[in-house]
Amino acid sequence: MNFQSGKVLRVENWGLAFLEDPKTSQVYPFTFDLIQGYGGESVAKIGLRVGGSVQFAVNKGVVSAVRLAAAATSARGKPPLTLAALLKEPASQLPAQRVLDPRQPLADRSWTPPGPLPPALRNFGYFPDLTNLWPGD
Protein backbone atom coordinates (compact mmCIF):
# COMPACT_ATOMS: atom_id res chain seq x y z
CA MET A 1 0.00 0.00 0.00
CA ASN A 2 1.12 3.52 -0.75
CA PHE A 3 0.44 5.73 2.28
CA GLN A 4 0.17 9.48 2.10
CA SER A 5 -0.21 12.11 4.80
CA GLY A 6 -3.52 13.68 5.72
CA LYS A 7 -5.28 15.75 8.35
CA VAL A 8 -8.36 14.69 10.36
CA LEU A 9 -11.24 17.10 9.75
CA ARG A 10 -14.04 15.50 11.72
CA VAL A 11 -14.61 12.51 14.04
CA GLU A 12 -18.11 11.15 14.68
CA ASN A 13 -18.92 9.09 17.78
CA TRP A 14 -20.64 6.37 15.77
CA GLY A 15 -17.52 5.22 13.89
CA LEU A 16 -17.02 7.62 10.99
CA ALA A 17 -14.30 10.20 10.43
CA PHE A 18 -13.25 12.50 7.61
CA LEU A 19 -9.73 13.32 6.52
CA GLU A 20 -8.28 15.73 4.00
CA ASP A 21 -5.44 15.21 1.59
CA PRO A 22 -3.50 18.50 1.92
CA LYS A 23 -2.03 18.17 -1.59
CA THR A 24 -5.36 17.94 -3.41
CA SER A 25 -7.80 19.26 -0.74
CA GLN A 26 -9.83 16.09 -1.39
CA VAL A 27 -11.94 14.98 1.60
CA TYR A 28 -12.28 11.26 2.28
CA PRO A 29 -14.62 9.54 4.74
CA PHE A 30 -13.42 6.42 6.56
CA THR A 31 -14.68 4.11 9.28
CA PHE A 32 -12.73 3.36 12.45
CA ASP A 33 -12.24 -0.29 11.50
CA LEU A 34 -9.80 0.87 8.79
CA ILE A 35 -7.41 2.22 11.44
CA GLN A 36 -4.50 -0.18 11.77
CA GLY A 37 -4.34 -1.62 15.28
CA TYR A 38 -7.81 -0.39 16.24
CA GLY A 39 -9.51 -2.79 18.63
CA GLY A 40 -12.73 -1.00 19.58
CA GLU A 41 -11.33 1.33 22.24
CA SER A 42 -12.03 5.04 22.36
CA VAL A 43 -10.49 6.78 19.37
CA ALA A 44 -9.40 9.62 21.66
CA LYS A 45 -7.26 7.10 23.54
CA ILE A 46 -5.53 5.93 20.39
CA GLY A 47 -4.88 9.50 19.30
CA LEU A 48 -7.43 10.16 16.55
CA ARG A 49 -8.35 13.82 17.03
CA VAL A 50 -9.64 16.64 14.86
CA GLY A 51 -6.62 18.41 13.40
CA GLY A 52 -4.37 15.40 14.00
CA SER A 53 -2.12 13.88 11.37
CA VAL A 54 -2.77 10.47 9.86
CA GLN A 55 -1.40 8.42 7.03
CA PHE A 56 -3.87 6.82 4.68
CA ALA A 57 -3.98 4.65 1.59
CA VAL A 58 -6.53 5.19 -1.18
CA ASN A 59 -7.67 2.49 -3.58
CA LYS A 60 -9.95 3.55 -6.45
CA GLY A 61 -10.94 6.75 -4.67
CA VAL A 62 -11.84 5.03 -1.39
CA VAL A 63 -9.74 4.95 1.79
CA SER A 64 -8.50 1.39 2.28
CA ALA A 65 -6.30 1.80 5.37
CA VAL A 66 -5.48 4.44 7.97
CA ARG A 67 -2.67 4.61 10.45
CA LEU A 68 -1.80 7.28 12.93
CA ALA A 69 1.14 9.43 11.88
CA ALA A 70 2.72 9.20 15.33
CA ALA A 71 2.51 6.40 17.86
CA ALA A 72 -0.48 6.86 20.11
CA THR A 73 0.47 7.86 23.62
CA SER A 74 -1.44 9.17 26.57
CA ALA A 75 -0.74 12.46 28.31
CA ARG A 76 1.82 10.68 30.55
CA GLY A 77 3.76 9.43 27.53
CA LYS A 78 2.64 5.82 27.94
CA PRO A 79 0.69 3.79 25.38
CA PRO A 80 -3.07 3.90 25.99
CA LEU A 81 -4.48 1.03 28.04
CA THR A 82 -6.83 -1.38 26.36
CA LEU A 83 -9.14 -3.78 28.18
CA ALA A 84 -7.08 -6.75 27.01
CA ALA A 85 -3.89 -5.18 28.42
CA LEU A 86 -5.60 -4.37 31.72
CA LEU A 87 -6.87 -7.91 32.17
CA LYS A 88 -3.34 -9.31 31.75
CA GLU A 89 -1.96 -7.21 34.63
CA PRO A 90 -2.26 -8.38 38.24
CA ALA A 91 -5.17 -6.73 40.03
CA SER A 92 -2.83 -5.15 42.59
CA GLN A 93 -1.10 -3.09 39.87
CA LEU A 94 -4.25 -1.81 38.20
CA PRO A 95 -5.38 1.78 38.67
CA ALA A 96 -8.18 2.06 41.22
CA GLN A 97 -11.69 1.49 39.81
CA ARG A 98 -10.41 1.07 36.22
CA VAL A 99 -11.65 -2.50 35.83
CA LEU A 100 -13.94 -4.17 38.33
CA ASP A 101 -12.26 -7.46 39.18
CA PRO A 102 -14.36 -9.96 41.18
CA ARG A 103 -11.13 -11.32 42.73
CA GLN A 104 -10.50 -7.92 44.32
CA PRO A 105 -13.56 -6.75 46.27
CA LEU A 106 -13.89 -3.00 46.42
CA ALA A 107 -15.94 -2.84 49.62
CA ASP A 108 -15.32 -4.91 52.71
CA ARG A 109 -17.91 -3.19 54.91
CA SER A 110 -21.62 -2.55 54.66
CA TRP A 111 -23.59 0.60 55.38
CA THR A 112 -27.00 0.78 57.00
CA PRO A 113 -28.97 4.03 56.84
CA PRO A 114 -29.54 5.64 60.23
CA GLY A 115 -33.31 5.65 59.76
CA PRO A 116 -36.05 5.11 57.17
CA LEU A 117 -35.36 6.49 53.73
CA PRO A 118 -37.45 9.54 52.81
CA PRO A 119 -40.29 8.95 50.29
CA ALA A 120 -38.59 11.11 47.64
CA LEU A 121 -35.57 8.82 47.70
CA ARG A 122 -37.63 5.60 47.81
CA ASN A 123 -39.66 6.66 44.76
CA PHE A 124 -36.63 7.79 42.75
CA GLY A 125 -36.36 6.29 39.28
CA TYR A 126 -38.70 4.85 36.69
CA PHE A 127 -39.39 1.16 36.31
CA PRO A 128 -41.28 0.27 33.10
CA ASP A 129 -44.03 -2.32 33.06
CA LEU A 130 -42.38 -5.03 30.96
CA THR A 131 -45.73 -6.68 30.24
CA ASN A 132 -46.67 -3.69 28.01
CA LEU A 133 -43.64 -4.13 25.73
CA TRP A 134 -43.94 -5.75 22.32
CA PRO A 135 -41.19 -7.44 20.30
CA GLY A 136 -38.97 -4.75 18.82
CA ASP A 137 -39.68 -2.16 21.54
Q: In CATH, what number is assigned to the domain containing residue 40?
A: 2.40.50.140
Residue 11 has pLDDT above 60, yes or no: yes
Residue 51 lies in a domain: yes
Provide the pLDDT for residue 105.
62
Residue 17 lies in a domain: yes
Q: Does 33 or 79 have the greater pLDDT score?
A: 33
Residue 23 lies in a domain: yes
Domain of residue 56 covers: 1-94
Residue 35 lies in a domain: yes
Residue 13 lies in a domain: yes
Provide the pLDDT for residue 124.
73
- The kind and range of the H/E element at 56 are strand 53-59
- Total domains present in the chain: 1
Residue 74 has pLDDT above 60, yes or no: no
pLDDT in tens, 106-118: 656 677 767 777 7
Residue 126 has pLDDT above 80, yes or no: no
> How many angstroms separate the CA atoms of 14 and 94, rounded?
29
Mean pLDDT over residues 52-78, rounded? 74
Residue 19 has pLDDT above 70, yes or no: yes
Q: Does 44 or 17 have the greater pLDDT score?
A: 17
Residue 134 lies in a domain: no
Provide the pLDDT for residue 72.
41
Residue 129 lies in a domain: no
Q: Does 94 or 26 have the greater pLDDT score?
A: 26
